[in-house]
């Protein structure tokens, strides 16, 4: 458990292009767009431009954070980028961002290759580094352009995934009453083939195979039903708090169907659950920080609230934590 | 443990279709509502009814017929013959 370490600032950036369900319906009159919208809860998504990458989006989100919150660039000690759509296999995208932001050369910069659980993982790494005294603050940045991996004809994935970047400043905040953790994590690589972009790394494709995103939606759903309720219970047990003591549940915004099914299993009221899908879509690792940012703006999270973060997905990988929100 | 009729009713509820519409020969090609989203609804209802005992059975993700669902559930001692 990390006391007096705060998520003190959050900003996010979305690409300019918006793809609404109306547009998709017009392009694909044979698709049952209304039915899909009803299940996913998503009405529109953001699509990165041809020359616009996760690094571009991440840089914009960081600039926004630095400017909006008047953060001194020279005071940043570390940057962790969570992405599965890096500009290159190498070099590390976080290093490119260090240069673009003109962060000090003493900065610790690295990428974490995780999807929907990535924010929780990166948050734990940042809090550990700060507690160990390695750094005094860390930019945790999530950025994804999954839409570049999606076949235009892939009805299910096209209507879910959206591009975005979100940046958070995690830092020491004595007296803030912030408390992050404990964390619970899990991984199960037996699910690797259920959500995958084949041909996107060093393992070569068979001839003529396209490197599009593949998702076995039914198996990913079964994974979520199998793992997430236990993850939530384990995190509560480790923290020593009752489920009724949690003020706000922030699930990875996979789809409304998934979130509603999970809260039904856990008997969590909708009123305590954030739904942040309708206008943004599933932005992979960005969903948690974007939902947090919007909830803070809407005063849905207040000082003293216990906020549970629950990330789960590609890998399979999952992670959860409880944050007592302070005033940093 | 389910019996055959429970399974049939779970599928009908999940697909939001009238009672008596589904029989042992029904499958994903047979009814327009039994598409990929409809199949997710079936899995959610089945897993809830069976207290989470369906979610470890990945074969259910591709069980696109009543016959196949019955076969898998029986193999896993979740359906009585």
Q: Are A195 and A154 within 8 A, CB to CB? A: no
Residues B47, A219: C-beta atoms closer than 8 Å = no
DSSP 3-state percent helix, strand, coil across chain A (nearest 5): 40, 25, 35
Report d(CA A97, CA A65) in Å as an integer.
Answer: 14
Both A185 and A316 in a single domain?
A: yes
Do A319 and A214 have their domain in common? yes
pLDDT score, position A203 = 83
Query: Nearest-CA neighbor of A100 among A136, A150, A66?
Result: A66
Domain that holds residue A132: 2-172
Residues A87 and A20 in one domain: yes
Do A151 and A212 fall into the same domain?
no
> Based on the domain organization, do A20 and A161 belong to the same domain?
yes
Q: Do A219 and B48 touch (CB under 8 A)?
A: no
Please name the residue of chain B whose CA is at the shortest distance from the CA of residue A216.
Answer: B61
Query: For chain A, what is the domain count?
Result: 2
Same domain, A43 and A121: yes
pLDDT for position B47? 96
Asked if B18 is an interface residue toward chain A (Cβ–Cβ < 8 A), one would say no
Q: What is the DSSP string of A72-83?
A: -GGG--EEEEE-
Tell me which chain B residue has its CA closest to the CA of residue A226: B55
Question: Does A116 qualify as catalytic in the annotation?
Answer: yes
- For A295-310, how does the pLDDT look when each residue is reduced to its tens digit (9 = 90+)? 999 999 999 999 999 9
Q: In this structure, what CATH number is given to the domain that contains residue A165?
A: 3.40.47.10
Interface of A with B in 31-70 (CB under 8 A): 32, 35-36, 39
Could you list the pLDDT tens digit for every one of the 81 residues in chain B? 889 899 999 999 999 998 988 888 887 877 788 888 999 999 999 999 999 999 999 999 999 999 999 999 999 999 987
pLDDT tens readout for residues A221-249: 999 999 999 999 999 999 999 999 999 99
A232 and A253 both lie in a single domain: yes
Residues of A in contact with B57 (CB under 8 A): 222
Query: pLDDT of A156-178, one tens digit each?
Result: 999 999 999 999 999 999 999 99
**Torsion sign (Cα): A96, A101, A104, A109:** negative
Q: How many CB pairs under 8 A join A and B?
A: 48
Among the candidates A133, A152, A172, a domain finishes at A172
Same-domain status, A145 and A186: no
Q: What is the pLDDT of residue B20?
A: 86
Q: Quick one: tokens of A210?
A: 């396209």
Pairing of β A164-172 and β A179-187: unpaired
Does residue A124 share a domain with residue A206? no
Instruction: Measure Cα distances from A307 to A16, A316, A320, B22, B33 in Å.
Output: 31, 24, 11, 44, 38
Q: What is the mean pLDDT of chain A?
A: 96
**Which ipTM score applies to this complex?**
0.91
What is the model's pLDDT at position A81?
Answer: 98
**Model confidence, pTM:** 0.95
The answer to whether the CB of A26 falls within 8 A of the CB of A59 is no
Distance between CA atoms of A173 and A303, rounded to whole angstroms? 14
pLDDT at site A208: 64
Residue pair A3/A175 in contact by the 8 Å Cβ criterion:
no
Any idea of the CA torsion for A226, A230, A232, A235, to the nearest 10 degrees?
-140
Note whether A9 and A63 are same-domain residues: yes
**Looking at the partner chain, which of A36, A226, A229 has a beta carbon nearest the beta carbon of B37?**
A36
Query: Which chain B residue shows the shortest CA-CA distance from A218?
Result: B61
Picking from A172, A194, A218, the residue at the C-terminal end of a domain is A172
**Dihedral sign from CA coordinates of A228, A230, A236, A238:** negative
- A143 and A66 within one domain: yes
Residue A249 shares a structural domain with residue A129: no
**pLDDT for A190 beyond 70:** yes
Token readout for A133 is 């005294």
Set A137, A142, A168, A252: catalytic member: A252
- The whole-number pLDDT of residue B27 equals 79
Q: Nearest C-alpha of chain A: how many angstroms from B12?
A: 17
Contact map slice: A 150-189 vs B, CB within 8 A: 156
The per-residue pLDDT for range A45-62, each reduced to its tens digit, is 999 999 999 999 999 999
Instruction: Determine which one of A62, A116, A138, A286 is catalytic.
Output: A116
Q: Which of A121, A145, A172 is at the close of a domain?
A: A172
Tokens encoding A78: 């570390």
Q: Does B54 touch chain A (CB under 8 A)?
A: yes
Mean pLDDT value across residues A264-286: 97
The full set of domains in chain B, from first to last, is: 2-76 (1.10.1200.10)
Q: Say which residues have a Cβ less than 8 Å from residue B10's Cβ, sequence separation at least 6.
A: B2, B42, B45, B46, B49
């Amino acid at each position: 458990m990390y006391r007096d370490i705060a998520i003190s600032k959050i900003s996010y950036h979305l690409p300019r292009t918006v793809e609404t369900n109306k547009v998709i319906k017009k392009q694909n009159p044979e698709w049952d767009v209304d039915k899909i919208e009803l299940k996913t809860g998503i009405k529109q998504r953001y699509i990165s431009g041809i020359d616009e990458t996760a690094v571009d989006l991440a840089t914009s989100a960081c600039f926004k954070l630095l400017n909006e919150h008047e953060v001194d660039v020279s005071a940043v000690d570390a940057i962790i980028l969570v992405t599965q759509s890096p500009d290159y296999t190498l070099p590390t995208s976080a290093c490119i961002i260090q240069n673009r932001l003109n962060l000090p050369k003493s900065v610790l910069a690295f990428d974490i290759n995780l999807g929907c659980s990535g924010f929780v993982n990166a948050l734990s790494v940042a809090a550990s580094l700060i507690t160990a005294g390695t750094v005094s603050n860390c930019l945790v940045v999530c950025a994804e352009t999954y839409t570049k991996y999606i076949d235009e004809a892939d009805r299910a994935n096209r209507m879910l995934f959206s591009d975005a970047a979100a940046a958070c400043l995690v830092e020491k905040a004595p007296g803030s009453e912030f408390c992050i953790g404990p964390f619970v994590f899990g991984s199960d690589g037996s699910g690797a083939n259920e959500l995958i972009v084949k041909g996107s790394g060093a393992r070569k494709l068979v001839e003529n195979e396209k490197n599009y995103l593949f998702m076995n939606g039914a198996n990913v759903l079964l994974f979520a039903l199998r793992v997430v309720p236990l993850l939530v219970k384990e995190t509560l047990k480790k923290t020593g708090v009752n489920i009724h003591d949690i003020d706000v549940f922030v699930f990875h915004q996979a789809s409304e169907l998934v979130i509603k099914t999970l809260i039904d299993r856990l008997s969590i009221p909708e009123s305590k659950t954030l739904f942040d899908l309708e206008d943004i879509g599933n932005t992979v690792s960005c969903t948690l920080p974007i939902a947090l940012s919007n909830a803070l703006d809407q005063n849905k999270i207040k000082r003293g609230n216990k906020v549970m973060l629950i990330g789960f997905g590609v890998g399979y990988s999952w992670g959860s934590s409880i944050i007592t929100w302070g005033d940093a | 443990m389910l019996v055959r009729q429970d399974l049939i009713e779970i599928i009908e509820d999940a697909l939001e279709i009238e009672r008596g519409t589904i029989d042992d020969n029904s499958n994903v090609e047979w009814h327009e509502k039994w598409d990929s989203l409809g199949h997710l609804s079936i899995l959610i209802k089945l897993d809830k009814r069976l207290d989470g005992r369906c979610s470890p059975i990945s074969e259910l993700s591709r069980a696109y017929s009543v016959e196949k669902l019955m076969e898998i559930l029986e193999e896993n001692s979740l359906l009585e013959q």
